[in-house]
Amino acid sequence: MTESASAASRKPPSPEDIRKRIFAIVAASSGNLVEWFDFYVYAFCAIYFAPSFFPKADPTAQLLNTAGVFAAGFLMRPIGGWLFGRIADRHGRKSSMLISVLMMCLGSLLIACLPTYASIGNWAPALLLLARLLQGLSVGGEYGTTATYMSEIALKGRRGFFSSFQYVTLIGGQLLAVLVVVVLQQLLDEAALRSWGWRIPFVIGALTAVVALALRRTLHETSSAATRGSKEAGSVAALFRHHKAAFFTVLGYTAGGSLIFYTFTTYMQKYLVNSAGMSIRTASTVMTGCLFLYMCMQPLFGALSDRIGRRSNMLAFGALGTFATVPILSALQIVSSPLAAFLLISLALAIVSLYTSISGIVKAEMFPPEVRALGVGLTYAISNAIFGGSAEYVALALKSAGHQSSFYWYVTAMMALALVVSLRLPREARHLRHED
């Protein structure tokens, strides 16, 4: 776990070492939960605070304005992936994770304390945008560094299982954001929520970020002084000069992975309402249950990868996603039973779990230590911003144009790409095997 870990890790781990590594996984992933809670609570609270920052517009325009600010956070992710990947490779994983969660804390605290348009005029939406840019930058850097750290700290033979907790906390952050908003809706009336209640989730996010910051301060560094001091550490030029094939391989299957993830998570509630004709309350209940089950699936599929290999997981993900996407989405379009919808979406999320449970480590295993965080973070952020962030927009645009089924085939085509690209994956870890 320290710079001498390479030699020590050749010995069977002691119970004390196992406990330390488990605590490190918890500490690292706690920040991931906070990051995603803070990022998504904005979307769930926008309906309440939109009039405070865009008062001159009609309700639809207000939500479009807040959605535009939300989208700006996605656009910052590639920059965050590059910046924090460089910091992690040149100055250490711990430093990058500390800065990342601190930046998210500042973004949430800024939103919680922001004066409204009535108080400071156009400065209010401008500062809201600034806060979201900070949060987008932070989330963009969080994924790559956390995935790298968790892959390096996890025990040999159980890396898939331990690394799966990155998505446990990612999904958990989304569920926690929903839960906080639901509780506030029960405790406060709509007038109070629109006046001041919407600030509470952002205060909670800032406070939990402080807890995550304290936990991350106890982490041990997993990168060595030699790799941090390398002239190629955190270098985009070095990444493309020596690891171009790995970069585009990871970029290819991450594009499909991000698209199908957002299709069956964030977009699916709207799909059930707009296409299947379910009520908003019923669709919300179905999706809450699906996301909880999806969160619980991650360690199971991560452990599966430790038995059958990451490449086998990825090939199964690509093949099943290619052949099952159109049938599942077509069936959901005409579903009438909430239970049937729950089962169909859960089936889709089980397929997605073959990828998400190991997405961090399968990328980390493609890059050497000196550019690992950069390689993981940048590929994820680019694919996520382009394909994941646009999933809902593309789906709604095609539906509006009368070509809803075209979206099904779009997702299928990207899954076919993920399958083809996954064939290029090595049968064993390229760059982590010598560190075991």
Match 């049937």 to its residue by tokens: 340
Does position 377 have pLDDT exceeding 60, yes or no? yes
Question: Residue 327 — very low, low, confident or very high, per pLDDT cuts 50/70/90?
Answer: very high
DSSP assignment of 256-315, as one string? HHHHHHHHTTTTHHHHHHHTS---HHHHHHHHHHHHHHHHHHHHHHHHHHHHH-HHHHHH
Cα distances from 394 to residues 16, 328, 387, in angstroms, run 50, 18, 9
More confident residue, 153 or 72: 153
Does position 294 have pLDDT exceeding 90, yes or no? yes
Question: Residue 416 — very low, low, confident or very high, per pLDDT cuts 50/70/90?
Answer: very high
**Number of other residues whose CB lies within 10 A of the CB of residue 62:** 20
- As a whole number of Å, the CA-based R_g of the chain is 21
Rounded (10°) angle between helices 123-153 and 59-75: 40
Are 179 and 413 within 8 A, CB to CB? no
pLDDT, average across residues 287-298: 92
In the prediction, which pLDDT does 418 show? Answer: 92
Tokens matching residue 110: 């800024």
How do residues 56-108 score in pLDDT, each as one tens digit?
766 656 656 666 776 677 788 889 889 999 999 999 988 998 998 888 889 88
Tokens matching residue 364: 């980390």
Does position 325 have pLDDT exceeding 90, yes or no? yes
Are 32 and 169 within 8 A, CB to CB? yes
From CA 90, how far away is CA 282, in angstroms rounded?
49
In this structure, what are the phi and psi dihedrals at residue 335, rounded to the nearest 5 degrees? -70, 145
From CA 373, how far away is CA 285, in angstroms rounded?
37
In the predicted model, what is the mean pLDDT of the chain? 84
| Cα 146 off chain centre by | 11
- Which pTM does this prediction carry? 0.82
In the prediction, which pLDDT does 159 show? Answer: 82
Question: Residue 189 — very low, low, confident or very high, per pLDDT cuts 50/70/90?
Answer: confident
Max avg pLDDT among 133-137, 210-214, 353-357: 353-357
From CA 390, how far away is CA 90, in angstroms rounded?
32
Match 């009609």 to its residue by tokens: 58
Closest CA to 40 of 180, 192, 185, 195: 180
How do residues 238-256 score in pLDDT, each as one tens digit?
888 878 888 888 888 889 9
In the prediction, which pLDDT does 430 show? Answer: 58
More confident residue, 260 or 391: 260
